[in-house]
Structure 1
């Protein structure tokens, strides 16, 4: 099975997440790739500051994960995982000591 994973940002009070295009754009397959994904309730910080503004930066708490499976053929299945990160007012200074 092949996988693609991407993130969307949900601003506080918004009904739907913004579509910022590819934010992280992870691709993997079940033969040789290990990808750790955050669970609902986990905190996420995405810093794309070094890519010249092509991708969005944001932080928040994972609100949902959607697994969308599509059968390509009898032997092949593709899964796209969409992770929605919601803006939160939590104090990030309480999460980690730097």
Structure 2
């Protein structure tokens, strides 16, 4: 099974997340460990500053939800995962000491 992962940012107070296209080009093939995907409640920092001008967003927040869509076609199965990251006022300085 192949996993295709899409991250969507949800501004604080918004009713729906933003679909800003491919934020992280992440595909996980069979035999890989998909447990590294952030879970609900995990903090996420996506830094796409190296890709300025290429349409990839950078944002931080807390995972609000994960949606798994299983698509079975013939002999091959795929899973499309959408991870919604909601803006938060939490103090990132208190999360880790760098």
Fold conserved between structures, TM > 0.5: yes
CA deviations on 1:25-53 (whole Å, 9 max, x unpaired) are: 2112123x334101100000000000123
User: How many equivalent residue pairs?
Assistant: 96
CA deviations on 1:65-97 (whole Å, 9 max, x unpaired) are: 000001111x21110000000000101000011
Gaps of 5+ in 1: none
CA distance in 2, matches of 1:52, 1:16: 25
Report SS of the residue matched to 1:62: strand
Matches within 5 A, 1:27-42: 27-31=27-31, 33-35=32-34, 36-42=36-42
Query: Are residue 20 (structure 1) and residue 20 (structure 2) matched?
Result: yes
Gaps of 5+ in 2: none
Matching residue of 2:69:
68
Matching residue of 1:57:
58
**TM-score of the pair, normalised by structure 2:** 0.93
Q: CA RMSD in A?
A: 1.0
**TM-score of the pair, normalised by structure 1:** 0.93
CA distance in 2, matches of 1:53, 1:12: 25
Detail structure 1 runs of 4+ shifted over 4 Å in the superposition: none
Matching residue of 1:7:
7
